[in-house]
Structure 1
Amino acid sequence: MTAVGEGPVLWALVVRETGDGTALAEVVVEVDAGHWGGLATDAWESGFVAAGGVPVSTGTVQVRSGRFERLVLVGGREVWEPTPVMEAPREWLSAAAGAGGVVVTVVAPGTWPPDLADVAAGRQAQVFADWLDEVRASGAVLQGVADLDAG
């Protein structure tokens, strides 16, 4: 897991395995309450759904020179960018290229694990994965599969 966040937006790049062992690249994003309405609307208009489904959307994840630069929604009209741009781990890039797309998970404000920075480095990925499973099960997410634009 690679995470970054400044200001009202938190981002994480995650690789997770499906039941059949396929690796999936995932972008997880949380915005503060002031930006939630905009991001939730953009996600819905791009075809994202509440937990329980991961439909193909009109979203695009843009990666340049091995770095995740932006999430583009609503047919290219809305752009959400991490600050700073995120270096994408090799495993994440490989999973995204192999699947031809990226699962994007938008979590509700205030649900990000609050003490993640205090967790030992070797346990952070597991703590984050456990939290992500819980928040998905609670229904406090919107999800869709975005195209990968690695141009």
Structure 2
Amino acid sequence: MKDLMSLLEAQNIDYEILQHSKQINTAQEGAEYFGIPTGQTAPTLILKTEKGFYALILSGDHGRVDLEAIKALLQVQEIRLAKPKEVEQVTGSGIGSVSLINPGLPTILDEKLSRYPFIYGGTGVPQTTLKIQPQDIAKLNQIIGYIK
């Protein structure tokens, strides 16, 4: 978390780290806990392809992920969600806590997140949430494409 905070401060990013007593595992749980629309939550999924790993940052109300569309976007033959052990290897954190900020990891961003002044997502540390502006997510990650 110290690395994340250093990066955010070095880039002059307006953010908040919110501590909570219970682990938040779903967009719905996060929305209820923070009293926000589900779409304002931003889970980060890790995808595995034959070209390597990618992060996918979604709006919590995105619905089912169209892996075929992402396959076409990435121009890959095979794509799947990374296994828990792979997620930990790639991000250093477990499923449910993956940070919104993963410099160096090619990232696909859900355009619907830009509807909100702030979005809420992982920090890499359980029981903490990052509140940040969507445009700063784009600025701090290696964005290679967008989904709607």
Normalised by the size of structure 2, how large is the TM-score? Answer: 0.26
Would you tell me which structure has more strand in proportion to its own residues? 1
Higher relative contact order (Cα pairs below 8 Å, separated by 6+ residues): 1
